[in-house]
């Protein structure tokens, strides 16, 4: 029988692509978080740049729009001294009918060293990783409903920054979990890092039943879901869900699952509130909570740059 | 020239302390290279009666073997609790060998500002330089085969010894 290897790891179990948090050993996640700590201080120096990726070309391939994620990847690559090329693929070659692998072949001919890929199809970054040259590295910046591993890692960095230890935490993930690649990446990371209680909170239409198999406690009652939580991760409610008959209305959702100061009072007094952004004020989160003293939404963005620098510099340093 | 087995790290530290003392100026700052050099800088700071905290510097982000070896998993990040701009920096390391680590940490240092001067002091100089770098003082010179690693160790009481691998 053929041995099935994790396609993200080389034969020394070192990370060469970041495609998903699922299946990565705890040591690899911890190495990324530790390294991100080093890069966080680089962002505060007089010279906010280190030469690790000097002479390398990083291609940002965003088949789906995302200003924030693309920008933080660009900043991260530039602070590592890479040359960054942004391709707005949604508006270029694919619209002329070029296939994904033909696009990759063409960009490889331009001597790309790393692809940062966002795609609406789950698995697209895997396909690219399988077909690009061995020295080329791939980072998944969000694929379909599948995974958003750098967001998952920056969420873990944020939790570790404020809570220090994962092994005594109650973490509630609230909202549209069924469509959320962030939720999936967070749950895999929290499990790997040893969080004893993970809760998925939301209406039946948005919280899949198979989550229990991932060791997650499903709660359809918000008050119960966030009671005594140390960490609350709110997810963005995508407007298009409203039309698909999955929810009655945004105001109805806010009434039941929107995070208000009153609901937040049921969590631990020192609980932190996270959100991957962009936030919908008055839909999944109240302004007083989003801007309140328990909110760590903006630090998440800052940590995101350091985490993406860590991921890129670790994978670029490992041989295939 | 001494053999590596004769090295008494504590005796050499006393020697280093005596040799560093005349190099210290009122506006000097001690910066130890992670990890052995940082332990030396911490103790020198105390024994020289310097006020404030010593700095710790890591070569990780400027190493020239990143493409071969990847990013090291162990080093502490650089921590310089003072202004580098215009300071006389005394850079401290346990063992000086190829000089590549020194090149890397000088680059790292410059990411924080332009020092007035950088002076290198080391506990042991084992020769074998691959770059035009030399120390202002060292407590000993030793010869070792190229494959051998010599580094400083520190026990729970803070006493120094050498590890040879």
Q: Which residue has the higher pLDDT, A93 or A72?
A: A72
Task: Give B 123-162 residues with CB within 8 A of chain A.
Answer: none
Nearest to B61 among A34, A50, A319 (CB): A50
- Highest mean pLDDT among A1-10, A208-217, B7-16 belongs to B7-16
Is the pLDDT at A88 greater than 80? The verdict is no
Tell me how close the Cα of A20 comes to any Cα of chain B, in angstroms. Answer: 21
**What's the average model confidence in pLDDT over A21-27?**
95
- What pLDDT score was predicted for residue A249? 82
Percent of chain A with pLDDT over 90: 77
CA distance B4 to chain A (A): 33
Count of alpha carbons within 13 angstroms of residue A14, beta-carbon side:
17
Phi and psi torsions of B93, nearest 5°? -140, 160
Strand partners, A67: none
Residue of B59, B71, B113, B114 for testing the chain A interface, max A β-carbons within 10 Å: B71
Q: What is the pLDDT of residue A147?
A: 96
pLDDT level of residue A93 (50, 70, 90 thresholds): low
Residue-level pLDDT at B3: 65
Nearest to A300 by CA among A99, A168, A152, A165: A152
Q: Among A90-99, A212-221, A259-268, B54-63, which stretch is predicted with the lowest mean pLDDT?
A: A90-99
- pLDDT-wise least confident of A2-11, A207-216, B109-118: A2-11
Whether A157 has a pLDDT exceeding 60, the answer reads yes
CA distance B114 to B29: 13
pTM comes to 0.91
At residue A214, the pLDDT reads 83
Give yes or no for a contact between B55 and B80, defined as CB atoms under 8 angstroms apart.
yes
- B54: DSSP letter: -
Task: Give A98's pLDDT tier (boundaries 50, 70, 90).
Answer: confident
Cβ contacts of B69 on chain A, cutoff 8 Å: 317
In this structure, what token pair is assigned to residue A244? Answer: 């698909």
3-state secondary structure of A58: strand
Average pLDDT over residues A151-163: 98
Per the CB < 8 Å rule, is A41 touching B113? no
Q: What pLDDT score does B140 carry?
A: 95
Per-residue pLDDT tens for A245-287? Answer: 677 788 888 999 999 999 999 999 999 999 999 999 999 999 9
| Greatest extent of chain A over all pairs of C-alpha atoms, in Å | 57
Question: What is the pLDDT at residue A220?
Answer: 94
Q: State whether residue A250 sits within 8 Å of chain B by CB.
A: no
**Which pLDDT value is given to residue A1?**
44
Sheet of strand B88-96, all strands in order from the earlier edge strand to the far edge: B55-57, B28-33, B88-96, B117-125, B137-141
The whole-number pLDDT of residue A315 equals 97
Count how many Cα atoms sit within 13 Å of the Cα of residue B111 in the half-sphere of its side chain: 25
Å from B27 to nearest chain A CA?
21
Higher pLDDT, A268 or A239: A268
Answer yes or no: are the C-beta atoms of A289 and A274 closer than 8 Å: no
Which residue do the tokens 């049921």 mark?
A: A266
**In the predicted model, is pLDDT for residue A218 greater than 50?**
yes
β-bridge partners, A272: A231
- Which CA distances in Å does B20 have to B15, B57, B68? 9, 19, 36
**Percent of all residues in chain A with a pLDDT value above 70, rounded to a whole number:** 94
Q: How far is B84 from chain A (nearest CA, A)?
A: 10
Q: Which residues of A touch B61 (CB under 8 A)?
A: 38, 42, 50-52
User: Exposed, middle or buried, A94 (CB in 10 Å: 0-12/13-18/19+)?
Assistant: middle
Which residues does chain B have with pLDDT short of 70?
A: 1-5
pLDDT of amino acid A243: 65
Is the confidence at residue A3, as pLDDT, over 80?
no
């Amino acid at each position: 029988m053929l041995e099935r290897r994790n396609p993200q790891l080389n034969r020394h179990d070192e990370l060469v692509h970041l495609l998903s948090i699922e299946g990565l050993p705890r040591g690899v996640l911890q190495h990324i978080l530790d390294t991100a700590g080093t890069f966080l201080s680089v962002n505060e120096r007089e010279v906010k740049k280190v030469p690790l990726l000097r002479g390398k070309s990083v291609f940002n391939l965003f088949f789906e729009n995302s200003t924030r994620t693309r920008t933080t990847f660009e900043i991260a690559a530039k602070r590592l001294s890479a040359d960054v090329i942004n391709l707005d693929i949604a508006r270029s070659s694919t619209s002329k009918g070029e296939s994904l692998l033909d696009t990759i072949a063409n960009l490889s001919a331009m001597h790309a060293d790393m692809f940062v890929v966002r795609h609406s199809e789950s698995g697209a970054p895997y396909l690219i990783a399988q077909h690009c040259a061995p020295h080329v590295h791939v980072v998944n910046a969000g694929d379909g409903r599948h995974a958003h591993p750098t967001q998952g890692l920056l969420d873990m960095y944020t939790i570790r920054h404020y809570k220090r230890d994962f092994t005594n935490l109650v973490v509630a993930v609230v909202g549209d979990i069924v469509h959320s690649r962030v939720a999936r990446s967070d749950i895999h990371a929290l499990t790997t890092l040893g969080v004893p209680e993970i809760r998925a909170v939301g209406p039946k239409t948005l919280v899949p039943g198979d989550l229990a198999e991932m060791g997650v406690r499903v709660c359809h009652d918000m008050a119960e879901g966030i009671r005594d939580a140390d960490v609350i991760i709110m997810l963005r409610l995508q407007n298009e869900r409203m039309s698909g008959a999955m929810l009655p209305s945004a105001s109805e959702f806010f009434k039941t699952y929107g995070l208000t100061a009153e609901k937040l009072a049921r969590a631990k007094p020192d609980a932190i509130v996270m959100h991957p952004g962009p936030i919908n004020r008055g839909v999944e989160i109240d302004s007083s909570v989003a801007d309140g003293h328990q909110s760590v939404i903006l630090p998440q963005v800052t940590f995101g740059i350091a985490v993406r620098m860590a991921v890129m510099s670790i994978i670029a340093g490992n041989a295939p | 020239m001494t053999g590596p087995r004769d090295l008494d790290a504590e005796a050499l530290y006393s020697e280093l302390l005596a040799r560093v003392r005349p190099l210290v100026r009122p506006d000097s700052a001690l910066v130890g290279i992670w990890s052995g050099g940082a332990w030396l800088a911490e103790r020198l700071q105390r024994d020289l009666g310097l006020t404030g905290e010593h700095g710790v510097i890591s070569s990780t982000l400027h190493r020239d073997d990143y493409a071969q070896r990847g990013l090291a998993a162990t080093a502490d990040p650089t921590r310089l609790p003072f202004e580098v701009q215009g300071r006389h920096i005394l850079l401290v390391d346990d063992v000086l060998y190829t000089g590549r680590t020194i090149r890397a940490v000088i680059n790292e240092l410059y990411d924080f500002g332009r020092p007035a001067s950088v002076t290198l002091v080391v506990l042991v100089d084992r020769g074998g330089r691959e770059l035009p770098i030399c120390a202002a003082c060292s407590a000993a010179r030793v010869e070792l085969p190229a494959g051998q690693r010599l580094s400083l160790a520190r026990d729970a009481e803070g006493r120094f010894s050498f590890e040879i691998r």
